[in-house]
Chains A and B, each alone.
Chain A
Amino acid sequence: MGIESSAHTLGVGIVHSGKVLANEKAMFRITDKGLIPSRVADFHSKNVGKVIRSALKSAGLKMSDIDAIGYTRGPGLGPCLRVGELVARSIHELLGIPLFAVNHAVAHIEITRTLSKVRDPLALYVSGGNSQIIGAIEDGFRHYHVYGETFDIGAGNMIDNFARAAKMKPAWGSTVAKVAEGGKYIQLPYTVKGMDFTFTGLLTHATKLLATNDLKDVAYSLQETAFAMLCEATERALLLTKKKDLLLCGGVAQSRRLQAMLKSMTRAHGIGFHVAPDQYNADNGAMIAIVAEEMLNSDVKQSSSDFGIDQRYRIDSVRLPWL
């Protein structure tokens, strides 16, 4: 069983041999105020019991059938992470089953990698808070290495901020995508440096254009520019690493436009493109369960210093003995 609580989603997933048996979630409803961590944590505390019960129900299992428990150690919002950690720790103590602290970004990649059955892909992980190009390397130990990433904010956060400035209703990513349909292109700042990129200049410029331009055109141009930057940086990383498969994961992976652009780019190089169904791209518990199972099967030993939470838990410090 895996518990995810790093941001506005409280997710509980159950897996067995890489197969998802349950993936239940409760989502804090985002208002125009955004996320207030303590309120979201309250929401998670209130709902965690209910979501665990519904996960067990949909998997047709009892709590005593669970043989290991994983939770998100980070990165994420402190108060929210704490809820998942506390619940997982309690289950671990009560049932006497192994406890695993899981990295959120590793989990996003691993669920998509497992579902698409690829061994050694390059991953583009794009969510609200993160935008990174990641691949596994071996240097002393096997771990994910960040080839390129945003120098400022995540792509999702950027789109959300724009939508808020344009007074749109959440959920922002899909609202912006809808508004952008049939827009005309207006030139916006495009900043890619090697395999890294920045989004704040683009955001500021696009927000300013709102006063004098059609919202549809600005939304379209913003989305096209941001996604093209991600594509170019990813393309460079693919040619550099010579990986044969690309995974797209994270909340923004649900964007059909981004999927189509990456598909076109990878096709030109004969590289496989993989993306999971939407429920696994948004934050979820199944991805935490998948990693916990991998850790259990490969005999990962974690000690008390590995538990707790870490709001800035970097992906490159995580050992991946199962890869």
Chain B
Amino acid sequence: MAMRLISEGAEAQILSAEVLGISAVVKRRIRKEYRARQLDEAIMSSRAKTEARILALATTNGINAPVVLLIDGFDLYMSRIDGVRPGRLSKTQAREAGIILSKLHNLGIAHGDFTPANLLVSGGKLYVIDFGLAEITRSIEEKALDLLLMNRSVGMAAAKSFLSGYSTSSAEHTKVVRKLKEIEMRGRYQSRTLAPQGTLLQNQQDSLRCLRGRKR
């Protein structure tokens, strides 16, 4: 089975693959030479498992996300979504993203990196990908950070639609939105975090870190 590299990050590579005739992708975690071998394997194995578990929870509950096909060692095989990144989110897409996020939150899942870069449009539907930083959590703050990251990544109008989509179906939306406002009000980093529209994902993550740094 020939695999082709689709993308590469610090933690993993995404390769194209095939499982039982189904077009798939594999997330292959990269070994870190600096880590003791057992520690390295323990980390890769627990992260692959967590990601698979969360994806399974999401997809079996009707979230449009990659379906887990197989876990082979530390490799996570998922169904391939042939789609394109939405680039600039339309109001309808932003609203739909809000609905998807509220469903994830209702399942107790915080995505951890909820930005347009991790959305795909396929067959007129919106899919969410990359659950590498996702976690099962009761934390309102983690959920509010999901909202914050998306808000920072899109324009004002899209952010509004996104929030309204989120609020229609989130069980805890009042609490989460209140937390979001609180985070936005936190201290001196605020002005810096208002990244101009369309700037890189990196900047947005950076902003998020700034805010997280204010937790103490």
Contacts and interface: CB of A to CB of B under 8 A. Distances in A.
B7 interface: no
Interface in B114-141: 133
B209 A194 contact: yes
Interface in B30-73: 32-39, 42-43
Interface string B1-29: 00000000110000000000000000000
Contact of A224 (B35, B191, B206, B213): B35
A195 B210 CA distance: 10
B39 A265 contact: no
Contacts of A236: 10
A190 B39 contact: yes
A264 B202 contact: no
Contacts of B213: 146-149, 196
Interface in A217-268: 221, 224-225, 228, 231-232, 235-236, 239-242, 260-262, 264-265, 268
Among B38, B43, B213, chain A packs the most CB atoms within 10 A around the CB of: B213
A139 B10 contact: no
B39 A195 contact: no
Contacts, number: 67
A228 B216 contact: no
Contact of B34 (A151, A190, A225, A231): A231
Contacts of B37: 185
Contacts of A242: 202
Given A148-B209, A194-B209, A265-B32, 16 more contacts: A145-B210, A147-B209, A149-B213, A193-B212, A194-B133, A194-B208, A196-B212, A224-B36, A224-B39, A228-B34, A239-B10, A240-B202, A241-B206, A261-B35, A264-B34, A265-B34
Interface of A: 139, 145-149, 151, 185, 187, 190, 193-196, 221, 224-225, 228, 231-232, 235-236, 239-242, 260-262, 264-265, 268
